[in-house]
A and B are shown apart, each in its own frame.
Chain A
Amino acid sequence: MAVTSPPGSATLSPAPLAGSATRWSSFRRRLTIWISGSVVALLVITCYLGPFVLPIPSPVGGNVLDSGLSPGSPGHPLGTDVNGNDVLSRLIHGGRSSLTVGVVVNIIGLAIGGTVGAISAYLGGRADSIIMRALDVLIAFPSLVLVIVLAQILGPSLPNTILALSAFSIPAVARISRAATLKVMSMPYLQAAELSGSPWWRILSRHVVPNIVPQLTTFAMLGMAIVVVTEGALSFLGLGIPPPRPSWGNMIFEAQQSMSATPLLVLWPSIALLVTVLSFNLLGESIRDEVTGR
């Protein structure tokens, strides 16, 4: 009986998808990508070009006589902090530190973590399980705890902050890259490539990498938000970017001391942090939805 299967089913040509069902939502998604992408671009341009273009004073070495000026004071649109430094200038320079840390940590994470994950998945077997167990050890630590200890070992500085943060970025990216690679490797075209005798580096570079890059870039957007927040926390604790060099985290910490008198000084860097994290989150989420076609 099984021979007749599929029995008499009318195997007609399949219907083309009637009506692009999700026009409106895909329009909204594009809009979100454009808006959050523009905010990110604006942030990057302001933080990196602003100091050269805008007429703002230096973020450090302010005159104590100028301390605590309120917003709107001449030459200081957002006022000055307790040390008499211009708040706007410190925000912009602080943003530069945060974005630099975020970008470099993510590049390190993608380069090392991405490669390790892909190779681990590609090799499979024993090598794979050894690599994954090693990553498990790093992932077992609550990220902030590990970063705090590393930061203290390395000493507070911008490059050291980057190194410390990479310690949790690398294993996280490696896991995602491994999962993505495993998925690609189960695809028929990859098996076909293997059977046709392509060398492993060609398979990795031609087939695996192009297929996992979209997923990894999406994660990098969300990763930017995580890294910027963790850098803020680290600098807030005095273990990240050392004063007098500004960073949003250490600005918040300094402002916290005089919070009841000048609450605005806490708010400015907090808002900067919020806008940055929000736009990276939105960008990452909407790109992910776009890629997965939800």
Chain B
Amino acid sequence: MSGATTTPAAEKRTRVTENGPAGEQPEGLRARLAGSPVLRLVGRRLMIVIPLLFVVSALVFLLMEALPGDPAQIRAGMDASEEEVEAVRQQMGLDRPGHERYLSWLGGALTGDLGSSVVSGRAVTTLLGERLPVTLQMAGMAFVLSIVISLPLALAAARRPGGLVDRFVMVCSMTLLAVPNFVMALLLVLVFAVGLGMLPAIGFVPLAEGVWPNMRSMILPVLSLAVPMACFYARFLRGDLVEQLNAAAYIDTARSKGTGPWRILWLHAFRNSSFGLLTLVGLNIGALVGGTVIIERIFAMPGMGTLMLEGVMSSDVAVVQTCVFIFAAAAVFANLLVDVMYAVLDPRVRYGSH
């Protein structure tokens, strides 16, 4: 075989071109942190998120101004005379101009004073301390459950697209997806509480009174939230996995190594599909938070949603303001978290892309 070896010139060219794109990683912890694309990304996102939250808080304040009902009147009582109401108004500082009140609310919020409920007179922070854990537990469990349900279903369906399992999963998820969570809640109550009498229809038992009673009171609300979400995720993930399996060349490489179908599915395809799922989950956090409001109402759970609804109905401005702001902030931070996780999980972001 004449001339099979490359000339030295070609060899040199190889070195030059092939070392080009693979830049050296800076050494040392400090340099690594400063140069870390993940940290840079977090920084960039915070630059957007923090101003956004200020604007959101201002909008919430504006909305509260428009809420019907006069807080001074409520505090003073319905049969109070006009002078008494006026006195309460001054005492509450409600006679001051709007921007002053916003700034003082903001100042208070930043120092941990969120005002107090005009209805019960209790501090909003105290109320939060009671209510937030309930909602967090419920939303957290629903979130985890929706993922735990959807992943195996999507993987099983994608194993044989068009097969029996796939069709079953797709039809069921399409149908269940069309059941709004408040309807799902009532149907679950009808079956498991009214019909079978297995679980309590309403009410919440705190964790302090035992893990099992607490879980029993959580099962139906969590299911009502989780099932429609799980269907949504399963459908998305299944579609993305099938697309990867059909179209991605790296799947062919993996197959031609002799890798088995399940390993290809969960190791190769799923890793790539997980990024799309992550984005979807982040976008869906808002829906989850909104869902807790109505589900707490149905199951009479003493959480943030009920607190907000009660506040809305009774024009309890300080309470509603805080609740709405926390809901919005939760959704915003969930999305930030998703972006960061994305960056940590995706090597193309983690090591900087070219």
Contact = CB atoms under 8 A, between A and B. Distances in A.
Nearest to B329: A140
A282 B175 CA distance: 10
Interface string B320-331: 100010011001
B345 interface: no
Interface residues of A, number: 37
Contacts of B194: 259-260, 263
A140 B309 CA distance: 19
Given A229-B180, A274-B179, A282-B174, A252 B324 contact: no
Interface string A93-124: 00000000000000000000000000000000
A155 interface: yes
Interface residues of B, number: 40
Interface in B54-108: 55-56, 59, 63, 66-68
Contact of B177 (A133, A140, A263, A281): A281
Contact of A270 (B59, B187, B308): B187
Interface string A136-161: 11011111111011101101000000
Closest 8 CB pairs of A and B: A144-B290, A278-B178, A142-B290, A142-B286, A277-B178, A142-B289, A229-B180, A270-B183
A51 B55 CA distance: 47
Interface of A: 133, 136-137, 139-146, 148-150, 152-153, 155, 225, 229, 232-233, 236-237, 239, 252, 256, 259-260, 263, 266, 270, 273-274, 277-278, 281-282
Contacts of A270: 179, 183, 186-187
Contacts of A153: 63, 66-68
A232 B181 CA distance: 11
Nearest to A249: B182
Interface in B158-216: 174-175, 177-180, 182-183, 186-187, 189-190, 194
Interface of B: 52, 55-56, 59, 63, 66-68, 174-175, 177-180, 182-183, 186-187, 189-190, 194, 286-287, 289-291, 293-294, 297-298, 308-309, 312-313, 320, 324, 327-328, 331-332
Contact of A142 (B67, B287, B309): B287
